[in-house]
Amino acid sequence: MIGPAAVKVLDLEAIEVALRRRALAIAAKALERQLNADTSDHAGPSLPCPHCGQSARFAGRLLKSFQSVLGELTLERAYYHCSSCRTGFCPRDQALGLADTALSPGVTRMTGLTAAMVSFAESSELLRELAGVPVDAKQVERTAEALGREIARDEQEVVEPATEAEIAPTMYLGVDGTGIPVRKEELEGRKGKQPDGSAKTREVKLCAVWSAESRDEEGQAVRDAGSVSYSAAIESAAQRDVDEAPAEFWQRVEREARRRGYDRAARQAALGDGALWIWNGVGEHLPNAIQIVDRAHAKEHLSNVAKAIFGPHSDLGQQWAKQHKDELEEGDVEAVLSALAAHADSNEEARKNYDYFDRNRERMRYADFHRQGLCTTTAVLESGCKTAIGARLKRGGMHWTVAGADAIIALRCCKLSGRFEDFWERRAAYHTASG
């Protein structure tokens, strides 16, 4: 049975909803009158066509309905037609940020922010429930991907270097890759790890930059809160040939390094797992960086060898792994190599890992790195792959196009890196200038 208190709460909710709707309707009418009172977009009998540059003639005024944060509005604006390229345009649409969309800039911004964090369907529900703005899931998808493409272009074109005050004494940069599910047509002809040799995913390559001047109770370097920025896309990291431009991903890395002032830091460190493509790229594009293989990855390799030699649940194997992990911590890579060499002839896993540790021995001087106060784990990078990519693009039932995934990745990295406000200011300034 519902008591009096519950009835009052329900009544208050109904009153709140009714008043909000009324206030929005009044504000919407006022804004609509204000927008339609301005006829300055009719600048004369002709204007240069934005498509071909020829003269476009004034052809009257047309109505356009669009969704705003106050509800649906109708705008009357001047229309110009170009007989040369047979296209039409409305100058007011560009000035107001309404070109090629039926959503106001405010709704576009809300749509982009929600779609960066949750699925398109969930974003649609949040917009309806929290803002009272009806944007269906498909429109959320189109809007978010279009905004993501704008952000991706902006990321390439705008590289504002950090100020000296923003650059920590030691700056860290890490790169990694993580697969995301894509549609079948995006996988044609691609090799993968499936039993038949086919691919099931496409790899997103991610770059993260951070500082770690903070220390934990043991004096080890800890990531500074709010210092991480991300940049990622489904891009090639293949090394360049002579006189050719760097691969797309390494161009991205270089931009992010300049943007964060990594290249001007007194000390630079690069972290990653043992993948050859990472260290080949770091060596070429970040020549001053101290190269460090993630300590957790190196230890995981020793665990895998122990399981291969002694079995997955062997106490002896666990003891073997612990002993050599301790040696690794102490910087005694030679002892680890000796232990692996003892089994290399009889065990393929030991042989492969001998090569792995031998190739990366200078990147595994962990005791030395710790004495220098350097971070030796890529927990930030692992978290980035999960937070920036996995949490949004690897949910059940999702299968992306490469273009769609890249757009949402750009949008999400921009938001998580704290750059969305700066992007939006540039976007607004562009539309104002164009108008």
- The neighbour count for residue 399, using CB atoms within 10 Å, is 13
Question: Do 85 and 168 belong together in one domain?
Answer: no
Question: Do 89 and 206 belong together in one domain?
Answer: no
Within-domain flag for 7: no
* Residue tagged 């009052």 (tokens): 8
Question: Do 212 and 315 belong together in one domain?
Answer: no
Question: Do 250 and 387 belong together in one domain?
Answer: yes
Question: Do 276 and 220 belong together in one domain?
Answer: yes
Residue 346's pLDDT is what?
A: 93
Question: Do 265 and 192 belong together in one domain?
Answer: yes
Residue 49's pLDDT is what?
A: 93
What string of pLDDT tens digits covers the 435 residues of the chain? 555 555 566 688 888 888 988 999 999 999 999 999 988 888 889 999 989 999 999 999 999 999 999 999 999 999 999 999 999 999 999 889 898 899 999 999 999 999 999 999 999 999 999 999 999 999 999 999 999 999 999 999 999 999 999 999 999 999 999 999 999 999 987 887 778 778 889 999 999 999 999 888 887 888 899 999 999 999 987 755 444 456 899 999 999 999 999 999 999 999 999 889 999 999 999 999 999 999 999 999 999 999 999 998 899 999 999 999 999 999 899 999 999 999 999 999 999 999 999 999 999 999 999 999 999 988 888 888 898 999 999 998 899 999 999 999 999 999 999 999 999 999 988 876 665
Question: Do 207 and 317 belong together in one domain?
Answer: no
Within-domain flag for 282: yes
Within-domain flag for 23: no
Within-domain flag for 74: yes
Number of compact structural domains in the chain: 4
Question: Do 385 and 240 belong together in one domain?
Answer: yes
Structural domain of residue 390, as residue ranges? 158-294+377-400
From 317, 341, 364, the end of a domain falls on 364
From 55, 81, 101, the end of a domain falls on 101
Question: Do 141 and 232 belong together in one domain?
Answer: no
Question: Do 174 and 285 belong together in one domain?
Answer: yes
Question: Do 127 and 164 belong together in one domain?
Answer: no
Residue 293's pLDDT is what?
A: 95
The burial of 99, by beta-carbon neighbours within 10 Å (0-12 exposed, 13-18 middle, 19 or more buried), is given as middle
Residue 13's pLDDT is what?
A: 82
Q: What is the DSSP letter of 237?
A: -
Within-domain flag for 414: yes
* Max Cα distance, the chain (Å): 89
3-state secondary structure of 293: strand
Residue 295's pLDDT is what?
A: 93
Question: Do 147 and 224 belong together in one domain?
Answer: no
Within-domain flag for 218: yes
How crowded is the C-beta side of 97, counted as CA atoms within 13 Å?
A: 22
| 433 strand-pairing partners | none
Residue 7's pLDDT is what?
A: 55
From 339, 364, 389, the end of a domain falls on 364
Within-domain flag for 411: yes
What is the distance of C-alpha 272 from the center of its chain? Answer: 18
Backbone angles phi, psi at 24, to 5 degrees: -65, -40
Within-domain flag for 10: no
